[in-house]
Structure 1
Amino acid sequence: MRRRIQPPVIPVSEQSSDIQLLHAVAAGDTAALRLLHHRHAAWLRARLRRRCADPDVVDAAIQDTFVAVWRDAISYGETAADPAAWIWTIAVRRLVSALRGPAHRWLSGSADEIPDIATTPSAEELVLLGVEHGALGPALDRLSPELRSLIEATALDGLTVREAAKLFGIPEGTAKTRLMRARIRLRELLA
């Protein structure tokens, strides 16, 4: 694992911001990663459980998320999205990847198989897979990070505009304007 040489990092504590923790993780501080996990794993689990009924898949996605945070914290810049939004984007992608795995036979099973309740996808799982692999996925990828994260939080995660604004630390009016811009741009890209 290649890490860029960083300036000395101030020791992390419970009072450290998420950005400070990400910088410490980028410098190889495992205590900072533990703090990030402690802060974010519970709400990630709650949100991912609304998308996938299988707790093992959710747990695997969360574990993979924090492995990715450890590996990619160096690429997180202060001009990027809010750290929680950045972590959420990783988590959703890890969930979709986990759903594509061999344990989910409904993705590659034969037509004559009788679906098992335990492996039948939920509507949310199908939507996530459609977003990732349909026309919407590439269109979302072409949006700027602040527009993409806001539209994903409201349209895919079911947050209200007020909740999304709070999550990203922006005024509600700014969130509404960005959502309007995101919808207009998505219409253009999908036309």
Structure 2
Amino acid sequence: MAEPPGPPAAPSTGRPPDADLVHRLAQGDRAAFGELYDRYGTPAYSLARRICVDPGLAEDVVQEAFLALWRHPARFDPTRGSFGTWLMTLVHHRAVDAVRRENTQRRRTVPLTDDDSAFVESSDHQALASVVSAEVRAALHTLPEEQRQVMALAYLGGYTQAEVAKLTGVPLGTVKSRTFAAIRRLRGTLGNLWAGETTGVER
């Protein structure tokens, strides 16, 4: 009598981990780069578009970020967090830099008229927001790595908790608990700032 068949093998997703793809990329594997782009090209563009607004500028930002990945894949350290978090942070920084360059260029090339008063007011708000953002980014670095990871995606990237869970591979409940713990710590660190303190800001 034939022996009964054993349990079926677990299906393979066929998707290597991000860290493995980055390692292969560091060895010159173009296919690994293509797979990383397929996974993160769309969310990277969505983040850049939120910050830049202009679609062409957002595309340039994404190209710059992936070019940096292609040239220096070893800059990603898997011991410090997920690849998705690292890449989205890189995209965010480059998008902010691009917007600042565009605003500076616009001020230099476009003469100021009475019709530009709304733009000037908006720029003043952006300058103040950049000061606050710098304080928040500094405070984020005081958090434990797992809390900083979810807060960076939520604050810097503008992602929902469900989207953060998907990007990081962490259960939604864990993302929520880490976010709650991080907010409690940040309230203590940023208490003076959130209370309206402006000490040290030049007029």
Instruction: Using structure 1 for the length normalisation, give the TM-score.
Output: 0.73
Whether the 8 Å contact between 1:106 and 1:121 is mirrored in structure 2 is no
Structure 2 unpaired stretches of 5+: 1-13, 192-203
Q: What does residue 144 of structure 1 align with?
A: 144
Q: What does residue 179 of structure 1 align with?
A: 179
* Distance across 2 between alignment mates of 1:111 and 1:142: 43
Whether the 8 Å contact between 1:106 and 1:120 is mirrored in structure 2 is no
| Percent identical residues | 30
Rg: which structure is higher? 2
Residue 47 of structure 2 aligns with an amino acid whose one-letter code is R
Q: What does residue 11 of structure 1 align with?
A: none
Q: Displacement of 1:132 after TM fit?
A: 7.7
Q: What does residue 49 of structure 2 align with?
A: 49
Q: Secondary structure at the match of 1:16?
A: coil
Q: Within the alignment, does 1:85 sit opposite 2:111 as a pair?
A: no
Q: Within the alignment, does 1:115 sit opposite 2:92 as a pair?
A: no
Q: Secondary structure at the match of 2:79?
A: coil
Q: Displacement of 1:24 after TM fit?
A: 1.1
Whether the 8 Å contact between 1:147 and 1:182 is mirrored in structure 2 is yes
* Distance across 1 between alignment mates of 2:49 and 2:179: 25
Instruction: Using structure 2 for the length normalisation, give the TM-score.
Output: 0.70
Q: Displacement of 1:178 after TM fit?
A: 0.8
* Distance across 1 between alignment mates of 2:121 and 2:53: 9
Moved segments of 4+, more than 6 Å: 119-123
Q: What does residue 70 of structure 1 align with?
A: 70
Greater helix fraction, Structure 1 or Structure 2:
2
Residue 115 of structure 1 aligns with an amino acid whose one-letter code is D
* Distance across 2 between alignment mates of 1:187 and 1:160: 20
Residues 37 and 122 (structure 1 numbering): CA distance in 2 closer, same or farther, change over 3 Å?
farther
